C-alpha cells in the first residue's frame, strides 16, 4: 500500500469513526465527496448511462450508508461496502420498476478530435449492453474499479466461484461481439476492458 493510499484510508477511518460516535455530518460529507465519483460511475454503467436514475440510486446509496454506517465492520474497503449497497439499490430498483434501460444516446455532438474516443466509448457501451446486470456489475467492479474477486464476491453477495464464472462468461461474450464487428480496429485482448474504457 502506498503512503498516500495509507493516509487516505486513515482519514477515511477517522471520518467513519466520527460519524458512528458523534453523528458528524461533515465527516460523512467528506466520505461522500471521497467516494461519490466511483459510486456514480458504477451506477451509470449499470443503468446503461441513465444519469438521472444513476444519480437517484447514488443518493439512495449514500443515504442508506449513512443510516447503517455502524454496520461497516472495517474488514474490507469502505468503497467495496458502498458498491455493495449501490448494487443492492440497483437490483431493488430493477425489480420495482421492471423498466427498460436507457440506450446510449445517439444525438451526442462531438468535434472531430473526439470522434475516435466517442467511437471507442460507444463500442464499449454497446458491448456492456450485451451483458446481464450481474455480469455488467462484476465486470465493472473488476476492470473499472479494480476490485479483487473476493471483494466482488462480498460486494455482490455471491459465491466466489459465481463471480469468477460471471467475469469469464462476460469476457467470452464481449470477445465474440468485438470480433464480430467488421470495424474492429485491433485484435481482442482483455485490456480493451481496462479502467480507461469501462
Q: Tell me the per-residue pLDDT of 57-104, one tens digit each, with 9 for 90 and over.
A: 999 999 999 999 999 988 888 999 999 999 999 999 988 876 444 343
Same domain, 1 and 91: yes
pLDDT for the residue 171: 87
Q: What is the reported pTM?
A: 0.69
Number of domains observed in the structure of the chain: 2
Same domain, 19 and 84: yes
- Interior angle at CA 64, CA 58 and CA 67, nearest 5: 145
pLDDT for the residue 107: 39
**pLDDT band for position 182 (cuts 50, 70, 90):** low
Domain boundary among 102, 137, 170: 102
Q: What is the C-alpha separation between 45 and 61, in angstroms, rounded?
A: 15
Same domain, 97 and 145: no
Which one, of 93, 91, 101, lies nearest residue 156 by Cα? 91
Question: What is the average per-residue pLDDT within 155-179?
Answer: 89
Same domain, 127 and 75: no
Residues ≥6 apart with Cβ < 8 Å to 19: 27, 28, 31, 66, 69
Same domain, 55 and 97: yes
Domain boundary among 102, 133, 152: 102
**pLDDT band for position 40 (cuts 50, 70, 90):** very high
Q: What is the CATH number of the domain that holds 117?
A: 1.10.10.10
Domain boundary among 44, 69, 102: 102
Which domain does 120 fall in, by range?
106-198
Same domain, 150 and 98: no
Q: What is the CATH number of the domain that holds 24?
A: 1.10.1740.10
Same domain, 34 and 126: no
Same domain, 89 and 22: yes
Same domain, 113 and 190: yes
Provide the Cα torsion 182, 183, 189, 194; round to 10°: -140
Pick the range with the lowest mean pLDDT from 5-19, 115-129, 133-147.
115-129
- Interior angle at CA 93, CA 141 and CA 154, nearest 5: 35
Which one, of 36, 24, 25, 30, lies nearest residue 12 by Cα? 30
Same domain, 94 and 3: yes
Same domain, 2 and 98: yes
- Using the predicted structure, report yes or no on whether residue 109 has a pLDDT greater than 70: no
Same domain, 18 and 51: yes
Amino acid at each position: 500500500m502506498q503512503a498516500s493510499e495509507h493516509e487516505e484510508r486513515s482519514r477515511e477511518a477517522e471520518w467513519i469513526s466520527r460519524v458512528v460516535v458523534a453523528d458528524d455530518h461533515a465527516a460523512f460529507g467528506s466520505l461522500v465527496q471521497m467516494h461519490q465519483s466511483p459510486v456514480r460511475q458504477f451506477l451509470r454503467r449499470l443503468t446503461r448511462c441513465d444519469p438521472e436514475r444513476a444519480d437517484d440510486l447514488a443518493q439512495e446509496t449514500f443515504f442508506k450508508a449513512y443510516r447503517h454506517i455502524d454496520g461497516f465492520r472495517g474488514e474490507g474497503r469502505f468503497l467495496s461496502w458502498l458498491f455493495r449497497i449501490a448494487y443492492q439499490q440497483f437490483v431493488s430498483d430493477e425489480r420495482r420498476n421492471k423498466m427498460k434501460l436507457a440506450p446510449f444516446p445517439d444525438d451526442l455532438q462531438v468535434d472531430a478530435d473526439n470522434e475516435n474516443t466517442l467511437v471507442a466509448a460507444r463500442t464499449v457501451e454497446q458491448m456492456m449492453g450485451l451483458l446481464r446486470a450481474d455480469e455488467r456489475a462484476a465486470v465493472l467492479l473488476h476492470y473499472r474499479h479494480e476490485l479483487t474477486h473476493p471483494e466482488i464476491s462480498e460486494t455482490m453477495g455471491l459465491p466466489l466461484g459465481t463471480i469468477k464464472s460471471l467475469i469469464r462468461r462476460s469476457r467470452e461474450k464481449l470477445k465474440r461481439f468485438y470480433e464480430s464487428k467488421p470495424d474492429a480496429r485491433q485484435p481482442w485482448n482483455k485490456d480493451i476492458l481496462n479502467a480507461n474504457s469501462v
